[in-house]
Amino acid sequence: MSILGTRVVRTEDPRLLTTGATYLEDLRLPELQGAAYATFVRSPMAHARITEIDVSAALAEPGVVAVLTARDLDDIPDRPAGAGAEPLLAGDVVRFAGEPVALVLTEEAYQGEDVAELVSVDYEELPVVVGVDQGLRDETLLFPGTDSNVVSTGGAEAFDDAAFADCEVVVERTIVNQRVAAAPLEVRATAAIWADDRMTLWVSTQNVHGVRDAVVDRLGLGKGAVRVIAPDVGGGFGAKIGADRETITVGWAARRTGRPVRWVETRNENMVGMSHGRAQVHTVTIGGSRDGRVSAYRLDIVQDCGAYIRLGTMLPNLTMLMASGVYDLPRVETAYRTVLTNTTPIAAYRGAGRPEATAAIERAMDLFAAEIGMDAAEVRRRNLVPPDKFPFTTKTGATYDTGEYAKALDTVLDAAGYEELRAEQRRRRERGDPRQLGIGVSTYVEITGGGPEAGETARLSVHTDGTVTVWTGSSPHGQGHATAWAMLVQDELGIPMDRITVRHGDTDVLTEGVGTFGSRSLQLGGTAVHNAAVEVKERARELAAEEMEADPADLVLDTENGTWTVRGVPGQGVAWAQLAERAGPDGLSADTKFATKQATFPFGAHVAVVEVDIETGVPRLVRHVTVDDAGPVVNPILAEGQRHGGIAQGAAQALYEEMAYDEYGNPVTATLMDYTFVTAAELPSFELVAMETPTSVNPLGVKGIGEAGTIGSTPAVQSAVVDALAHLGIRHIDMPATPERVWTAINEARTAQ
């Protein structure tokens, strides 16, 4: 029986559960002995001119190794200083609160903050741009010499109202997809040494190769001059993709001073220094007929970029691409503008551009349903892409590979007991229950895996003792690659998992690779491993044929016990160890790269059940039921784990989380006391329903599962809050649906009645 699809517990766990993992801060390597500790001096202002930096008091402190500022960055290549270009350390101007201005190196970790306080920076305040509305006004420009804060636009140049001309009903609404923090439990961290003209960086990252390339590029080093190693990584969620300016600066400082340097930020720094996610404002327009058919949809996106361009110009393109969701819509118009503001730059966060697309269309569907007085699930059903239309190309140019959208919707409604929930809702409304019930339904499709650079590498070696090492370019941070990749190999080669070691996260060991993000690992990295196993198996077949003096075509591998025999000939057969021996000095190995331009399109449907306390406005998620279909599942416990985590993060965006700024550009949620990170106490257990629709894009038939939970849950939970109050005439409440917002909406609705 195949091991694939079975609930194998993680082989990673015993180490993590007994001695703990080795995160960057846990490294006790001889190379890092005597390392100086790095502390960044960060701007307290959102927008200001730096008139002077006086480091003399700091330098006079005991234990100070160096105090470095932008002036010292004279040994790296110049960068074109265009609008949105991010420096390593701020030069003349700071553009967001928390921006690094100087780097202090000290002998002891505890000295760092004391010394950083002694670096005296004179700031001359500049007017501040907070929020996209202010940014679009262009009264204050973040980059003088430009004529606008808009750094990028795309999509339709002008919208055509004729698209809605024949609609019986048209609804338009501006909705906010708020700024949130990725907040991995392990903050950002880097250690660096410069020795023998080479830099070695240990980085808490999702993609060592991307970090290497960015550091090489920014510091003007030779391609072979940088090695990047990822120790265990304590979560990333998109925000640990690539090399942040702090990481590059720490590497540079190690070269500059000739000292090993290590840096671990504080949580407070993490909340302002690590890229934020989402931060889009949508104007949705949806039109159709009273029978529930939607004929036109328009999505106008304004992306808050933050102060510099990280991914702020890329994300809305993904949002536009996925704008029409699971629906077969005759007319779709999209456009975006990306606007600089004096806030932390925006980049990827679990879903990165796709949750925003789903949130917008799902909200629009709800608004349309409310306007025509039809059940929200029914309106969705009437507009889904039918199964016989795949592959389906949307009006925005995405070609969906496979999908069973109606089945997903019906399955989740059934599992949730939708009719009974509606009946309970009616009962509570009739008796004026102070705790009203809301039912939110969302359907979604997202894009994973494909793209021009898509691909992933693997190397597989069978050793002469019969054990296997797998190297993967896809460096995990909690996803369980070591277990899943070993399962793929066992399935193909019949070598038991406990004889298979999976290694990753070192650019010297596997010089090419991509990483773990965008729900890409299994479909690309897993396929690369699978293909390597297939290659090794074919080579082994030849070797076994030689050994047994038979025709390769007659050789059979018994995957139950990992031995090769000749068909129809009784006997012991040959084992993998023997074949590895026979393979000679090069061993029995394969190097593979799997790449495909074709993306996959996981999809699903969620039902959220929320209780809203009408007196206090407090919403509470009481049930969350999901169908998340990402094709065949290699290991259900891993896939479920991804879904659970995603649902929690998505629900948290709907109900709790927001990175907020005051009018001066001060972040007001920069600690975990203020940022309402969701806890166990606010969440229910989740109800997951399995569904597997394969794709033909890769030999495993799999799609990505990492972001699905987040994408589906946010709109379902938001919708459930609104639905609980629908009888009061409430049609929309922006996220996060805090008690204050909900209470205000209730109050306004009651006053209006």
16 binds ligand FES (CB under 6 A): no
22 binds another protein (CB under 8 A): yes
* Closer of 18 and 751 to ligand FES (Cβ): 18
Longest dimension (CA), the chain: 90
Interface residue with ligand FES, options 17, 57, 85, 185 (CB under 6 A): 185
Sheet harboring 456-462: ordered strands across?
500-504, 468-472, 456-462, 588-594
β-bridge pairing 500-504 and 435-445: unpaired
The partner in contact with residue 20, picked from another protein, ligand FES, none with C-beta cut-offs of 5 to 8 angstroms by kind, is another protein
Using CB under 8 A as the binding rule, the residues of this chain from 696 to 725 that contact another protein are: 709
677 binds another protein (CB under 8 A): yes
Q: How many residues bind ligand FES (CB under 6 A)?
A: 3
Stretch that binds another protein, among 410-418, 571-579, 587-595, 636-644 (CB under 8 A): 636-644
- b (16+ CB within 10 A) / e for 67-98: bbbbebbeebeeeeeebbebbbbbeebbbbbb
Of all residues in the shown chain, the one whose CB is closest to ligand FES is 185
Token pair of 501 as six digits:
């070691």
CA distance 105 to 304: 34
CA distance 385 to 394: 10
Interface residue with another protein, options 44, 63, 387, 641 (CB under 8 A): 641
Token pair of 478 as six digits:
């909690």
Interface residue with another protein, options 25, 508, 613, 734 (CB under 8 A): 25
235 binds ligand FES (CB under 6 A): yes
238 binds ligand FES (CB under 6 A): no
The partner in contact with residue 283, picked from ligand FES, another protein, none with C-beta cut-offs of 5 to 8 angstroms by kind, is none
Q: 146: which DSSP letter?
A: B
CA distance 402 to 599: 11
Write out the H or E segment, with its range, that includes residue 743: helix 739-752
Write out the H or E segment, with its range, that includes residue 637: helix 636-655
The partner in contact with residue 146, picked from another protein, ligand FES, none with C-beta cut-offs of 5 to 8 angstroms by kind, is none
Token pair of 386 as six digits:
């039918």
478 binds another protein (CB under 8 A): yes
Write out the H or E segment, with its range, that includes residue 321: helix 315-321
SS3 696: coil
478 binds ligand FES (CB under 6 A): yes
Stretch that binds another protein, among 182-190, 252-260, 352-360, 738-746 (CB under 8 A): 182-190
17 binds ligand FES (CB under 6 A): no
Shortest gap between Cβ of 418 and another protein (angstroms)? 22
173 binds another protein (CB under 8 A): no
684 binds ligand FES (CB under 6 A): no
DSSP assignment string, 470-510: EEES---SSS-HHHHHHHHHHHHH---GGGEEEEE-BTTTS
DSSP assignment string, 26-51: G---GGGTTPEEEEEEE-SSSSEEEE
268 binds another protein (CB under 8 A): yes
Q: 526: which DSSP letter?
A: I
Using CB under 8 A as the binding rule, the residues of this chain from 500 to 539 that contact another protein are: none
Shortest gap between Cβ of 23 and ligand FES (angstroms)? 11
CA distance 180 to 186: 17
Shortest gap between Cβ of 486 and ligand FES (angstroms)? 20
CA distance 447 to 441: 20
Beta bridge partners of 273: none
613 binds another protein (CB under 8 A): no
235 binds another protein (CB under 8 A): yes
632 by Cβ neighbours in 10 Å (0-12 / 13-18 / 19+) ranks as middle
Write out the H or E segment, with its range, that includes residue 94: strand 93-94
Place of tokens 């699978």: 530
Q: 225: which DSSP letter?
A: G
The partner in contact with residue 243, picked from another protein, ligand FES, none with C-beta cut-offs of 5 to 8 angstroms by kind, is none
DSSP assignment string, 580-596: HHHT-TT-EEEEEEE--
Q: 86: which DSSP letter?
A: P
Shortest gap between Cβ of 16 and ligand FES (angstroms)? 9
Using CB under 8 A as the binding rule, the residues of this chain from 107 to 146 that contact another protein are: 110
Shortest gap between Cβ of 444 and ligand FES (angstroms)? 24
Interface residue with another protein, options 356, 640, 658, 707 (CB under 8 A): 640
Using CB under 8 A as the binding rule, the residues of this chain from 26 to 85 that contact another protein are: 26, 28
Shortest gap between Cβ of 678 and another protein (angstroms)? 8
Where do contacts with another protein occur on this chain (CB under 8 A)? 9-10, 12-14, 16-23, 25-26, 28, 110, 183-187, 232-235, 237, 266-268, 477-480, 637-638, 640-641, 644-649, 671-673, 677, 679-681, 683, 685-686, 709
Where do contacts with ligand FES occur on this chain (CB under 6 A)? 185, 235, 478
